[in-house]
Structure 1
Amino acid sequence: MNRRKQAAISLTAALLSGVFVYGVYLLQLRQIELQEMAEVVVPKQFIATGTRLEEGLLTTIAIPRSAMSPEMVTDLAEAVGLETSMPLGGREPLLRWKVDKYRLLPKAGQSTFQIPREYVKSISSGIRAGDEAVVYLSGEEMEPRRLFPEAVAVAGVKTAANLEIDNPKNSNLLSMANGDKEGMYASRRDANGTIDAINLNLTEEQWLRLDAACKGGNAKLVIAFQASTIREEELR
């Protein structure tokens, strides 16, 4: 009887030891798997071209480290605020070449319109490609008013010779992309010409409203530089 009891105890101990060893093995295997995985940023769902990325549109997933590439974004903070240069698939790793910080292309639902000269009363001399502008209506027989409640993106400003207005030695757009506020200020002072034409990224509804307001000749546009393009607190 004692032999049977001892055999049962030995068998139970062996089983418990085996379970313990197997549990340690699974834990080590899990740790190895975690070490070989990495978090990357992905869209939660499909995102169209020209969309400004917000934190609510993004999440992170774990992928094998061996599948990672240097172009994949791994930090949510890096992605927030960027704009898509092409459509993004849901749950697909976000690649840096598919997004940009300062884009001149129109967003989804927009087109780039060159504003007719006869529609324009004045353009702020500090406006450059990549800026945001506020558009007002002004006329002799009307009270001046803001045409659009929101600022609009400037796709380009050109001289009469069809040259993009900028400082050739210190590009405003390059300074903007590099976060060089002093360089942006300097490039606006040392530009290479007077604005003759301006291109704005507008929705169809915005363009039709602008055209209807100006085509009769009774009202013209005053296009002003939006100060938020260079945040005031960063220049203090």
Structure 2
Amino acid sequence: MNRRRQASIGLSAAVLAGVLVYGVYELQLRQIRLEETVQVVASKAFIGAGTRLGQEHLTMLTLPRSAVATEMLTDVKDAIGMETAIPLGSNEPLLAWKIGKYRLLPSKGQSTFQIPREYVKSIAGGIRAGDEVLVYLSGEETTSRKMYERPVTVAGVKTAANIEIDDPKNPNLLSLADGDKEAMYASRRDANGTVDSVNLNLTEEQWLMLDSACKEGKAKLIIASIGTTIRGAGEEVTR
């Protein structure tokens, strides 16, 4: 009986030891695989040129380290808010040169329109080129409403002297390209003029809608800036 018990204990110990060795082997193998692969940012599905990227467009793709190029993005945050310069296929790794942040140029299907002065009732003074703005319609003979459900991009903001409004010592566009919101705030505060005219990037349908609503003079536009979160001095302020 004792021999059988000892044999059973020995067999159990051998099985447990085998399981332990196998578990260690699997952990080591998994670690090696992780070290040999890299996760890069990729498109979830086909994305057309001129699309502004959001979280819903992006996914992470695991590639062998040997297949990863230096221009591939590895952080989704670096891609969100950027626009595609060319179409992207499904599960295509994002390369830095295929996206950009220069939204002053009209996207696919858009053109840049200078909004006639007589169409405008008010323009928020803090608006600068590259901003997204909300456009509202206001008039005594019409119900005040949003002109467009989604924000539109400002291509340019000028003074009455046809000078682009900015801070010459601290250009807003350079701060925008660098993602430096503190410098953007400073450039808006120290701007060199008062807004007289604004250019917007619109589709043909959006322009025709705007023109039809305003050309008879019964309604005018209110162009409003969107709140921006400024980080600094250890806190966040939404204005």
Q: TM-score range by the shorter chain?
A: 0.7 to 0.9
- More displaced, 66-75 or 163-172? 66-75
Q: Name the residue aligned to 2:189.
A: 189
Instruction: Give the drift of 1:231.
Output: 6.0
Q: Which runs of 5+ in 1 are unaligned?
A: 1-26
Aligned residues: 212
Percent identity between the aligned chains? 66
CA separation in 1, counterparts of 2:131 and 2:149?
16
Q: Which amino acid aligns with 2:110?
A: Q
Asked if the contact 2:167/2:191 (under 8 Å) is kept, the reply is yes
Q: Which amino acid aligns with 1:50?
A: G
Instruction: Give the drift of 1:235.
Output: 2.2
Pair 1:142–1:76, CA change in 2 (3 A): closer
CA separation in 2, counterparts of 1:44 and 1:183?
34
Secondary structure of 1:126's match? coil
Q: Which amino acid aligns with 1:40?
A: V
Pair 1:85–1:159, CA change in 2 (3 A): farther
Instruction: Give the drift of 1:141.
Output: 3.8
Instruction: Give the drift of 1:78.
Output: 3.0
Secondary structure of 1:218's match? coil
Instruction: Give the drift of 1:140.
Output: 4.2
Pair 1:38–1:202, CA change in 2 (3 A): same
Secondary structure of 1:234's match? strand
CA separation in 2, counterparts of 1:205 and 1:212?
11
Q: Name the residue aligned to 2:118.
A: 118
Instruction: Trace 1:3-152 onto structure 2 (pairs within 5 A).
Output: 35-101=35-101, 103-152=103-152
Instruction: Give the drift of 1:107.
Output: 3.4
CA separation in 2, counterparts of 1:154 and 1:217?
23
CA separation in 1, counterparts of 2:31 and 2:222?
63
Q: Name the residue aligned to 2:228.
A: 229
CA separation in 2, counterparts of 1:128 and 1:148?
19
Secondary structure of 1:193's match? coil
Cα-to-partner distance string for 1:83-135 (whole Å, 9 max, x where unaligned): 22332233332111222346223334433221122222222221101112222
Asked if the contact 1:181/1:235 (under 8 Å) is kept, the reply is no
Pair 1:36–1:158, CA change in 2 (3 A): same
Structure exhibiting the larger radius of gyration computed from Cα positions: 1
Cα-to-partner distance string for 1:132-171 (whole Å, 9 max, x where unaligned): 2222223344454332233222121123343321111112
Secondary structure of 2:207's match? helix
Pair 1:211–1:65, CA change in 2 (3 A): same
Asked if the contact 1:138/1:222 (under 8 Å) is kept, the reply is yes
Q: Name the residue aligned to 1:18.
A: none
Pair 1:235–1:172, CA change in 2 (3 A): farther
Pair 1:216–1:133, CA change in 2 (3 A): same
Asked if the contact 2:137/2:145 (under 8 Å) is kept, the reply is yes
Q: Which runs of 5+ in 2 are unaligned?
A: 1-26
Instruction: Give the drift of 1:32.
Output: 6.3
Pair 1:192–1:59, CA change in 2 (3 A): same
CA separation in 2, counterparts of 1:137 and 1:29?
63
The answer to whether the aligner puts 1:205 opposite 2:209 as a matched pair is no
Secondary structure of 2:223's match? strand
User: Runs of 4+ in structure 1 displaced over 6 angstroms?
Assistant: 27-33
